[in-house]
Amino acid sequence: MNFTVDIKPNQRYVISRALWQQHGLNSMSDNIFDNLPKRVLPKEVFETLHQNKHLKLERILSTGQTSDWYDQAQDEWVILLQGHATLVFEGGKAVNLKPGDYLFIEAHRKHRVSWTNPDEVCVWLALYIPVQNNSASSQML
């Protein structure tokens, strides 16, 4: 099993199990809170839990990382399961998130992660849904 790590928005690379374990992670299991990093990760980690032509479900782990602006072709529903974070939307609206907070972000609504707590592992669950009226974006993520 391979995992992806964020380098820049929309640019990720696959890491091997050995590199995954080097950062204190073991393997995926059936519990969203299993195998959390034991130390600060160099990059935000994206794990695809399920994907088909209708959706993509990811577990995202952050340990103090921020992001550049995202302008995604698909809708996104995201929930912060653990940790604390702040998302900022184009125009300046900031949303502070605590465990259990969730958002629906429409396709092409520019946003970025401006802060994640470096003292705890932030565990996100993100569901990406292709926009049905746009054949280019509904081809799959």
Mean of per-residue pLDDT scores for the chain: 82
Q: Using CA atoms, how far apart are residues 122 and 60, in angstroms rounded to an integer? A: 8
Tell me if 66 sits within 8 A of 112, measured CB to CB: yes
Q: If you average pLDDT over residues 79-91, what whole number do you get?
A: 98
Q: If you average pLDDT over residues 12-40, what whole number do you get?
A: 64
How far is CA 109 from each of CA 13, 71, 74, 89, 123, rounded to the nearest angstrom? 24, 6, 10, 7, 22
The model's pTM = 0.74
Give CATH for domain 3-139. 2.60.120.10
Share of the chain above pLDDT 90, in %: 64
Q: Which amino acid is at 48?
A: T
Tell me if 34 sits within 8 A of 18, measured CB to CB: no
What are the boundaries of each domain within the chain?
A: 3-139
102: part of which helix (H) or strand (E)?
strand 102-105
